[in-house]
């Protein structure tokens, strides 16, 4: 089968939502019965996103096969039915890494190794590899047209169209309509398309981000100066919920225009599912207030998947979810009561490093002792183990090897086989791993199954020698890795909803298929809220 390609570039400014646009196009094409794949080309020199600070680059999205990738892959998976992998996020660093290794191995036989053809060919090879067995492959190029570092990627996609054929490849360019007072300014769009055309790329479709719909005369003008047909100049209207984007694109006929350009014949799109999501988002029956306790809270991107999964949990219950981001250091200085008393639920988020850890432990303590719904994820579970060990299981010095290496009471620590590898990314447990759940546990009821598989991204594990003490004090180790017996999930019996997991369930939640743990957590928060309000 001939795979068709859609290349998505962006211009004028960064942060236009290219990732969401690419994901929405994926959703629209799936709704027409096509199979899709999505890929991100990132011009930075890091080999992957794993080593980048969440403050700078947002969330690191972990794929099923354990790659640490750009957060746009999270959007791609959330909007579609795809499961992406290592090959779907390609960086300049990976390209050069491959080429330099080949050069050292003598594979270029005395030739000069150059950007053209070697770097460009390596990019093209990776695009083809990541696009196997699908009708349409959607490829997003990171950065902004005009950046020095994205040039090799743009040259690669220019050649790609030449190699693959006009009917098999299209270019979609995202730009921004600037407003001067209330007047729409198209000049930045014209210049950005001019820049693309200079390097040999004529876009087929323009998506113009704008706070108001583009009137006909504006579309006409953009069309005239960019050579893009007027009907292919689309408004990318600013919307309240990112899940509206597939629908507003469809209203602009974007999916029709794409399949016409690619000479594909498909059924008409089925978009009821998306309409239902938007309807639930816009017309909630109530709301819950959740304390989101973490470290990177000033940079919401750092927890993109988690934010979305909580919203999905709300959608499942027809509720809107108000997230109150709490820097755990503020709990240390101001006390848990002041910050958490009015909340319907408390979530302790994943994270790395010691800063704010004691505040997170206090948040767990507050939720546990006051019977407030509590959800701990990854580091959040480790904090729950420490809190319980200190206050219930008679291990007052309990801590994590991440913060107090060498402490004999580290209830969370490196496994012996990991010692000595700490500084290399190699010691992390990454990607999908199975877990077996106890049949009579709350978590098994929530999943409706005792066998699950979820994605991981962590280094430290619960130390099994402390488990008997934790269990005697009433903690339920409800899920374990089947062979290695690593602790995967915990819960408390005499609590309305206290669940924590070592994995990241948020990575597999989708708006049209909210993850059961988030759906159940939000339901418990709402229940707690109504009990609390009827008490007073
Ligand atoms: N820092 C902890 C670990 O490495 C938890 C990681 C996380 O929350 N993703 O084990």
Report in angstroms the alpha-carbon separations of 99 from 36, 69, 85, 113, 131.
Answer: 29, 21, 21, 8, 21
Across residues 396-415, what is the average pLDDT? 95
Question: Is the predicted pLDDT of residue 445 greater than 90, yes or no?
Answer: yes
Q: Which atom of ligand 1 is nearest to the CA of 461?
A: 10
| Residue tagged active-site, from 90, 208, 378, 501 | 378
Cβ-Cβ contacts under 8 Å for 235 (sequence gap 6 or more): 207, 208, 210, 213, 214, 248, 252
Q: What pLDDT is stored for residue 496 in this prediction?
A: 97
Please state the pTM of the whole predicted model.
0.94
Cβ-Cβ contacts under 8 Å for 394 (sequence gap 6 or more): 469, 473
List, for residues 106-164, the tens digit of each pLDDT value.
Answer: 999 889 999 999 999 999 999 999 999 999 999 999 999 999 999 999 999 999 999 99
Across residues 244-271, what is the average pLDDT? 96
**pLDDT, mean over the chain:** 94
Percent of the chain's residues with pLDDT above 90:
89
| Residue tagged active-site, from 57, 88, 504, 515 | 504
Question: Is the predicted pLDDT of residue 420 greater than 80, yes or no?
Answer: no
- Tell how far the Cα of 353 is from the centroid of ligand 1, in angstroms: 8
Pocket probe for ligand 1: among 350, 381, 414, the residue whose CB has the most ligand atoms within 8 Å is 350
Q: What pLDDT is stored for residue 263 in this prediction?
A: 96
- Is any ligand 1 atom within 6 A of the Cβ of residue 402? yes
Contact 461, 413 (CB under 8 A): yes
For ligand 1, atom 6, name the residue with the nearest CA: 458
- Is any ligand 1 atom within 6 A of the Cβ of residue 352? yes
Instruction: Give the whole-angstrom CA distance, residue 154 versus residue 162.
Output: 13
Across residues 504-523, what is the average pLDDT? 98
Q: Which atom of ligand 1 is nearest to the CA of 350?
A: 8
Please state which of the ranges 112-121, 201-210, 414-423 shows the lowest mean pLDDT.
414-423
Tell me if residue 525 is catalytic.
no
Report in angstroms the alpha-carbon separations of 23 from 20, 79, 243, 297, 350.
Answer: 5, 6, 10, 25, 25
Tell me if residue 504 is catalytic.
yes
DSSP 81: S
Instruction: Give the whole-angstrom CA distance, residue 429 versus residue 424.
Output: 12
Q: Calculate ∠ Cα 181-185-191, nearest 5°.
A: 145
If one counts every other C-beta atom within 10 angstroms of the C-beta of residue 344, the result is 24
Across residues 210-220, what is the average pLDDT? 96
Across residues 87-104, what is the average pLDDT? 94
Q: What pLDDT is stored for residue 387 in this prediction?
A: 98
- Is any ligand 1 atom within 6 A of the Cβ of residue 378? yes
Question: Is the predicted pLDDT of residue 533 greater than 70, yes or no?
Answer: yes
User: How crowded is the C-beta side of 136, counted as CA atoms within 13 Å?
Assistant: 32
Instruction: Give the whole-angstrom CA distance, residue 269 versus residue 251.
Output: 12
Q: What pLDDT is stored for residue 500 in this prediction?
A: 98
Report in angstroms the alpha-carbon separations of 415 from 65, 69, 433, 448, 490.
Answer: 22, 25, 17, 31, 19
- Tell how far the Cα of 377 is from the centroid of ligand 1, in angstroms: 9
List, for residues 28-86, the tens digit of each pLDDT value.
Answer: 999 999 999 999 999 998 888 887 776 677 889 999 999 999 999 999 999 999 999 99
Question: Is the predicted pLDDT of residue 467 greater than 90, yes or no?
Answer: yes
Q: What pLDDT is stored for residue 295 in this prediction?
A: 82
Contact 306, 506 (CB under 8 A): yes
Q: Would you place residue 426 in the very low, low, confident or very high pLDDT band (cuts 50, 70, 90)?
A: low
Q: Which atom of ligand 1 is nearest to the CA of 353?
A: 1
Tell me if residue 208 is catalytic.
no
Pocket probe for ligand 1: among 61, 364, 402, 454, the residue whose CB has the most ligand atoms within 8 Å is 402
Q: Would you place residue 100 in the very low, low, confident or very high pLDDT band (cuts 50, 70, 90)?
A: very high
| Residue tagged active-site, from 252, 506, 515, 523 | 506
- Tell how far the Cα of 350 is from the centroid of ligand 1, in angstroms: 6
More confident: 425 or 152? 152
Q: What pLDDT is stored for residue 536 in this prediction?
A: 60
Q: Would you place residue 425 in the very low, low, confident or very high pLDDT band (cuts 50, 70, 90)?
A: low
- Tell how far the Cα of 251 is from the centroid of ligand 1, in angstroms: 43
Across residues 456-470, what is the average pLDDT? 96
Question: Is the predicted pLDDT of residue 297 greater than 80, yes or no?
Answer: no
Q: What pLDDT is stored for residue 498 in this prediction?
A: 98
Q: Would you place residue 418 in the very low, low, confident or very high pLDDT band (cuts 50, 70, 90)?
A: confident
Q: Which atom of ligand 1 is nearest to the CA of 428?
A: 4
- Tell how far the Cα of 481 is from the centroid of ligand 1, in angstroms: 17
Closest CA to 503 of 487, 525, 516, 526: 487
List, for residues 244-253, the tens digit of each pLDDT value.
Answer: 999 999 999 9
- Tell how far the Cα of 44 is from the centroid of ligand 1, in angstroms: 25
For ligand 1, atom 5, name the residue with the nearest CA: 379
- Tell how far the Cα of 173 is from the centroid of ligand 1, in angstroms: 38
């Amino acid at each position: 089968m001939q795979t068709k390609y859609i290349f998505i570039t962006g211009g004028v400014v960064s942060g236009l939502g290219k990732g969401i646009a690419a994901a929405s196009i994926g959703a629209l094409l799936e709704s027409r019965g096509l199979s899709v794949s999505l890929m991100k080309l990132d011009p930075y020199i890091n080999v992957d996103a794993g080593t980048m600070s969440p403050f700078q680059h947002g969330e690191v999205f972990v794929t099923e096969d354990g790659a640490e990738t750009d957060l746009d892959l999270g959007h791609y998976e959330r909007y579609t039915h795809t499961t992406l992998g290592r090959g779907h996020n390609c960086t300049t660093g990976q390209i050069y890494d491959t080429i330099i290794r080949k050069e050292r191995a003598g594979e270029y036989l005395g030739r000069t190794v150059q950007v053209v053809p070697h770097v460009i060919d390596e990019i093209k090879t990776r695009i083809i590899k990541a696009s196997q067995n699908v009708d349409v492959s959607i490829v997003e190029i990171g950065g902004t047209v005009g950046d020095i570092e994205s040039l090799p990627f743009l040259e690669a996609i220019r050649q790609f169209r030449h190699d693959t054929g006009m009917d098999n490849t299209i270019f979609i360019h995202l730009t921004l309509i600037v407003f001067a007072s209330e007047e729409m300014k198209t000049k930045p769009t014209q210049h950005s398309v001019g820049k693309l055309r200079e390097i040999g790329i004529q876009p087929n479709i323009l998506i113009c981000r704008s706070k108001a719909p583009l009137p006909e005369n504006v579309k006409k003008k953009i069309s005239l100066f960019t050579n893009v047909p007027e009907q292919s100049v689309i408004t990318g209207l600013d919307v309240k919920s990112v899940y509206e984007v597939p629908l507003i694109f469809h209203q602009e006929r974007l999916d029709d225009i794409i399949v016409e350009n690619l000479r594909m014949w498909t059924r008409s799109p089925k978009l009821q599912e998306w309409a239902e999501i938007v309807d639930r988002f816009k017309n909630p029956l109530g709301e819950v207030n959740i304390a989101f306790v973490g470290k990177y809270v000033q940079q919401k991107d750092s927890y993109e998947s988690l934010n979305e999964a909580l919203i999905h949990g709300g959608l499942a219950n027809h509720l809107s979810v108000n997230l109150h981001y709490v820097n755990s250091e503020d709990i240390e200085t101001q006390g848990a009561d002041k910050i958490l008393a009015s909340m319907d639920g408390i979530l302790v988020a994943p994270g790395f490093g010691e800063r704010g850890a004691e505040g997170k432990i206090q948040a767990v303590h507050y939720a546990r002792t006051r019977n407030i719904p509590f959800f701990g994820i990854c580091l959040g579970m480790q904090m729950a183990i420490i809190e319980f060990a200190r206050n219930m299981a008679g291990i007052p010095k309990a801590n994590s090897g991440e913060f107090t290496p060498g402490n004999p009471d580290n209830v969370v620590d490196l496994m012996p086989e990991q010692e000595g590898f700490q500084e290399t990314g190699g010691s992390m447990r990454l990607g999908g791993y199975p877990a077996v759940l106890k049949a009579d546990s709350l978590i098994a009821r929530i999943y409706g199954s005792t066998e699950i598989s979820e994605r991981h991204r962590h280094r430290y594990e619960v130390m099994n020698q402390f488990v008997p003490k934790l269990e005697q004090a009433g903690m339920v180790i409800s899920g374990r890795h089947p062979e290695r017996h690593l602790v995967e999930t915990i819960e408390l019996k005499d609590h309305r909803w206290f669940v924590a997991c070592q994995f990241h369930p948020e990575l597999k939640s989708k708006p049209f298929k909210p993850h059961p743990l988030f759906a159940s957590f939000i339901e418990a928060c709402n229940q707690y809220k109504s009990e609390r309000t009827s008490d007073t």
